Amino acid sequence: MFSDRTAWNLEANPLSKALTDRISSGKQVIDLTESNPTKCGFHFEAQQILEALSHAASLNYEPVAQGLLSARNAVVEYYRSRKCAVNVNDIFLTTSTSEAYAFLFRTLCNPGDEVLIPQPGYPLFNFLADIQDVPTAPYPLIYDYGWQIDFHALQRAINPRTRAIVIVNPNNPTGHFCRSDDMHHLNQICLEGDLAIIADEVFLDFSLGKDMLSNNKALTFTMSGLSKISGLPQMKVAWLIATGPETLKQQGVARLEMIADTYLSMNTPMQLALPALLELRHNFQQQCLTRTRNNLAQLDKVLAAQRLCTRLNLEGGWYAVVKVPVSGSDDGLALELLNARGVYVHPGHFYDFPADGYLVVSLITPEGPLATGIEALIGLIGEKFK
């Protein structure tokens, strides 16, 4: 009756099951994984958001495959404010970056062609690619005082069926950026191998120092959207932008346009609201950066008082990785922490860390719960390794 590609193991894993049981039995949970900005106690300009959604022109339907020009111009303006010039004709609005990934995988890959994804990385990649019959192959990020791409392994992972390399700037959950020499190296590899770069920059504005350059050497598809930029994932507005060698880029844009035209998935009220919702990013980003900085400082303070756990260096994004002593699986440790202390964290395994000994916490968790949760985590580890 059903396709092989949907033959997933849909059984809840022990950690999610324990979480659901705990919540349904009314026990307290300190959730250090919360990364939905609408649930983290930020102040949103409610009236301005709601006004943006009630544009009179929403009563008309003007189907435009790439998205309404006024909305795409707002995206151009956003990049201009970051001193980055993008061409309005190379932008496609999508209902999420997930949809942008789907469009790109359909544009670049035949069934069975591969894309390379960073490891550790965003857990949704495998599903997004699987649904499009595109296998993923990981390329490792290695940690040595900071994260970096293992280019030797990346090059070994390329085979005749490889079509694209996904990079995430800053990466979820490692919080590191590709440096300009990394981009140079990646461009060379992609130009030589006829590969595209898919650059996921949803967390780009949440840098703790560095900034990222836009890429136009190899064929590149850069994506971002409102879910992180303005903390509005419920609006379902994202985009992808094609850059690179002109002829190749135009071919890509023409093919993408056919796909976008087939779905016309962007709704009119959201496109009309986009300029105002992008403007509201400043208020959100200020709160969010303050939150992540405070939480990092708190995390470091607690970690400084003990010697068993450390925090890995990061350059941006919404996550911190805590290195813990290995006494079993990370899944087991996360489960024990939830059962014994009511604190929920993600095991590194969730992000495909290649070894045990890593837990991931969301830095946009409200400050109080983060402090309590980290104390509880360190307390449990201290007891285990007395």
- Give, as one character, the DSSP assignment of residue 315: S
**Least distance from C-beta 236 to ligand PLP, angstroms?**
7
**Least distance from C-beta 240 to ligand PLP, angstroms?**
11
**Least distance from C-beta 182 to ligand PLP, angstroms?**
17
- Give the integer Cα–Cα distance in Å for 228 and 338: 28
**Least distance from C-beta 346 to ligand PLP, angstroms?**
12
**Least distance from C-beta 127 to ligand PLP, angstroms?**
12
Q: Output the CA angle 78-364-278, nearest 5 degrees.
A: 20
Nearest Cα neighbor of 200 from 175, 170, 232, 180 is 170
**Least distance from C-beta 242 to ligand PLP, angstroms?**
18
- Give the integer Cα–Cα distance in Å for 386 and 380: 10
Query: Half-sphere exposure (CA, 13 Å, Cβ side) for 36?
Result: 6
- Give the integer Cα–Cα distance in Å for 258 and 238: 18
Chain residues binding ligand PLP by CB under 6 A are 96-98, 122, 168, 172, 200, 202, 225, 227, 233, 238
State the sign of the Cα–Cα–Cα–Cα dihedral 347, 352, 183, 323: positive
Q: How far is CA 6 from CA 2, 67, 96, 164, 233, in A?
A: 7, 31, 21, 23, 26
**Least distance from C-beta 181 to ligand PLP, angstroms?**
22
Question: Is the backbone of residue 166 left (phi > 0), alpha (psi -120 to 50) or beta?
Answer: beta
Q: Decide whether 168 or 190 has the Cβ nearer to ligand PLP.
A: 168
Q: Decide whether 265 or 372 has the Cβ nearer to ligand PLP.
A: 265
Q: Decide whether 48 or 234 has the Cβ nearer to ligand PLP.
A: 234
State the distance between the two ends of the chain, measured CA to CA, in whole angstroms.
55
Q: Decide whether 302 or 350 has the Cβ nearer to ligand PLP.
A: 350
Q: Decide whether 107 or 172 has the Cβ nearer to ligand PLP.
A: 172
Q: Decide whether 131 or 303 has the Cβ nearer to ligand PLP.
A: 131
- Give the integer Cα–Cα distance in Å for 248 and 139: 25
Q: Decide whether 195 or 235 has the Cβ nearer to ligand PLP.
A: 235
